[in-house]
Structure 1
């Protein structure tokens, strides 16, 4: 069995402000760095063989924190464009509240340049297949983005959709055996500081 753990990056200021964030290379904020450390401490309780990351810095910096805790060389982190965030086209930089439904509707007329859900699922699934084919039997962390994780989950199991909640720095487990992917756990984040959950 090959095991994948898809980890969302820590918080950025655009996440905090609820602004649509796609390919912009926004860094982790102070809370995001803390979340990355919390994710790293949680994942270090298990043994991992490889870390793969989206090339965007918010993912790379989260991956580096995890690598340090898991005693994996930073130089060994593999960057893979297939796990980059969704191209939101004209929606990028706009408040989530005003355009969320159009994004969820895959509305390319209202949002020119929007990468479709099917396009996302195809590229993320291609990346996952490549990993399980190249590293059979290994345990692999993939640090990426909210919509990349939703694409992975919905590509594997159509009971999941792009409306699935996905907290910053959460972990999502997908196993691969006998030629099939299977979702084992999603949005694992009880160990992550989340201001929306605090009284």
Structure 2
């Protein structure tokens, strides 16, 4: 089973460098084009289904990709929602630096909780789709820290519209690419 995380396309808040988190902000035109561009990146693999976070930016990205690849648009999984940034959601980097220079925002969801949710989603997707090659559209922080946990190494920020592939081999996961770039294969438990 091969899977791929795809970060949703750009939103106005991404463009304005505002912290989105779990706030439901729609794609902008650049984001829609990034979703169409991802179709070319995904070509060459027999993708069968695409699922997503329920947030509109992820759901629309998934719909655009499903149409472009001619594959099934599966359900949204609540566990794939982006990290909740509490009081900092909607704030710019300048406001965050002024109010929370330590990055400890009131109401901030822990990274461990985000990775636990994402891992639960991966188990649900695996149970529902078995050996089908599955695309998963979700969010940058969730993708970055989940892949870091699976691979046992740190990854850089995840770009809008980028693809990260990984596969399940029995009970183990192997991360194959991040931000559209192949990485050294690292088998993990």
Q: What TM-score do the two structures reach when normalised by structure 1?
A: 0.83
Classify 1:19/1:160 alpha carbon distance in 2 versus 1 (closer, same or farther; 3 Å): same
Q: Does 1:121 align with 2:118?
A: no
CA offsets 1:58-89 (integer angstroms, 9 cap, x no match): 1111101110111124xx42110111111010
CA offsets 1:95-122 (integer angstroms, 9 cap, x no match): 135537x999773xxx111000000010
Q: Secondary structure at the match of 1:77?
A: strand
Q: Does 1:157 align with 2:151?
A: yes
Structure 2 equivalent of residue 49 of structure 1: 48
Q: Secondary structure at the match of 1:176?
A: strand
Q: Does 1:146 align with 2:140?
A: yes
Query: How many aligned residue pairs are there?
Result: 180
Are 1:44 and 1:69, in contact at CA under 8 Å, matched by a contact in 2? no
5 Å-filtered alignment, 1:53-132, equals: 53-73=52-72, 76-99=73-96, 107=104, 111-132=105-126
The 2-side partners of 1:96 and 1:85 are apart by: 18
Are 1:63 and 1:77, in contact at CA under 8 Å, matched by a contact in 2? no
Which structure has the highest strand share of the two? 2
Are 1:106 and 1:117, in contact at CA under 8 Å, matched by a contact in 2? no
Higher mean Cα deviation, 152-161 or 121-130?
Answer: 152-161
The 2-side partners of 1:3 and 1:186 are apart by: 14
The 1-side partners of 2:46 and 2:106 are apart by: 43
5 Å-filtered alignment, 1:166-181, equals: 166-181=158-173
Runs of 5+ consecutive residues of structure 2 not aligned to the other structure: 182-189
